[in-house]
A and B are shown apart, each in its own frame.
Chain A
Amino acid sequence: KAGVTQTPRYLIKTRGQQVTLSCSPISGHRSVSWYQQTPGQGLQFLFEYFSETQRNKGNFPGRFSGRQFSNSRSEMNVSTLELGDSALYLCASSFHRDGTVMGEQFFGPGTRLTVL
């Protein structure tokens, strides 16, 4: 079974631009979560989607948004990029047995975003 895939793997943008990152979960997984990793703040939760609905959101400004499609693929968007948005963005998927219980989460390789 293929793992979680993320595209693109690397991205360079300038301040003020916007960016869209994509995540394809493991087949059969309906929950997708996004995390940001920076040297200063570590790994922080951005948001989680299940069946196209955002169920939980971390403490990030409204410039960070996401969505999930009917095939469980997810995208996250960052508008008006700032230097501090430079980070590794990780996507994770998990299989929900009953719609509420989170199983083991599996991570993709990440997208490394550099904002100049």
Chain B
Amino acid sequence: GIQVEQSPPDLILQEGANSTLRCNFSDSVNNLQWFHQNPWGQLINLFYIPSGTKQNGRLSATTVATERYSLLYISSSQTTDSGVYFCAVEQIKAAGNKLTFGGGTRVLVKP
């Protein structure tokens, strides 16, 4: 099956710093989503971005589908950005669909 790798696995930032999280995938995909998992476990949707670039406030994401990677940018980080960020991809198949998740990037933003 498709492999999804996220880097770095851990990231410690000072408040106000910028960072880039990367997601590589091993095959072509029809869907790519970025999530932030809060301390209570809920996955919060950040971006639905199978290709192209999107921005939402201090966060932006770019997916280059032909090169099989996606990037999540966090600018002017805040302590509330702490948590685990997941990239998940989906391939449409006749037998049904599923999201395959990367291992996540654990982000800690220090005040």
Contacts and interface: CB of A to CB of B under 8 A. Distances in A.
A45 interface: yes
B96 A55 contact: yes
Interface of A is mostly: strand
Contacts of A102: 30-31, 90, 92, 97
B98 A58 contact: yes
Interface stretch (B16-24, B39-47, B74-82): B39-47
Nearest to A92: B99
Interface residues of B, number: 24
A104 B48 contact: yes
B92 A100 contact: yes
Nearest to B102: A42
Given A43-B86, A43-B101, A107-B35, A48 B96 contact: yes
Interface residues of A, number: 29
Contact of A55 (B35, B42, B88, B95): B95
A44 B104 CA distance: 13
A54 B45 CA distance: 25
A24 interface: no
Interface of B: 30-31, 33, 35, 40-43, 45, 48, 86, 88, 90, 92-93, 95-101, 103-104
Interface of A: 31, 33, 35, 37, 42-45, 48, 50, 54-56, 58, 88, 90, 92, 100-110, 112
